[in-house]
Structure 1
Amino acid sequence: MSVDAAPATVLVFSQRAEVRAAVRTALGASPAPDVGPLRYVECATGDEVVAAVDAGGVDLCVLDGEAQPTGGMGISRQLRAEVADCPAMVVLIARQADRWLAHWSQADATLAYPVDPLVAPETVAGLLRERAAARPVARR
């Protein structure tokens, strides 16, 4: 158990407050003992997501693929194309058939909605571990 794991910033995007709340509840304060505590940034519009990621400091985005008018899949693809050090991307999907769209969006992972509180923390912790391992040691 790593007591000194750095906090991770998780951006949660959906125009629906209940979806954002479901993601925060499923992930909790820390998704795994070796992953630092989570700080949440909530966004209700695509423009807010782009501004938050552009400002820096976001480690992972959980994007609602069903959001309107701009869905999380389109935002994921846009950020991958425009941001050099793009955070890890997770897209919430309502139907398993939408996995191919999430692949098109260049998301790192998908989570089914409603969010499973056993699967979501494991998925997010794995992506945060990968991101931390990829960081240069000098940044510490």
Structure 2
Amino acid sequence: MDLVDLMHTLYPYAKSLHIMAVISWMAGLFYLPRLFVYHVEQAENVEGVSPIFLVMERKLLKLIMGPASVVTWLAGLFLVLTPGIVDWGALWPWMKGASVIGMTWFHHWLMARHKGFEKGANRLTGRQYRLMNEVPTLLMVIIVVSVIFKF
């Protein structure tokens, strides 16, 4: 069995792994900004609550979002590198790729915001985090529509 045959054999497994990792990563990308909203709003009203939010945010980032993003990327790269799967002359793989890069940027932006909370230097409001919470939704819509319709 040559490499191309092996990649085609492993393709459904990689695709399954990719979908599961994306679901886990997206759950974190949706939930962490909400945690930031509650962190900002409750830290003003409830003494001693900030360290609890910091632990929840850190664990979400390190134990779920980080590994899920790595698996998403690795499995996704395997999928796009499998010969004959992606029509690179079409628009959809480029739209999906740009959106995945945007999703990765958003993940890193969230990590930077968490570091700000750790340093006591958060400058954003709950409303601003609520607005930023729409970013992964918009990117997800672009990704799903691109992959399903393949225009």
Q: TM-score, normalised by structure 2?
A: 0.30
* Richer in strand (by share): 1
Query: Normalization by structure 1: what TM-score?
Result: 0.31
Instruction: Give the structure, 1 or 2, with the largest relative contact order (CA under 8 Å, sep 6 or more).
Output: 2
Q: Name whichever structure is richer in helix by fraction.
A: 2
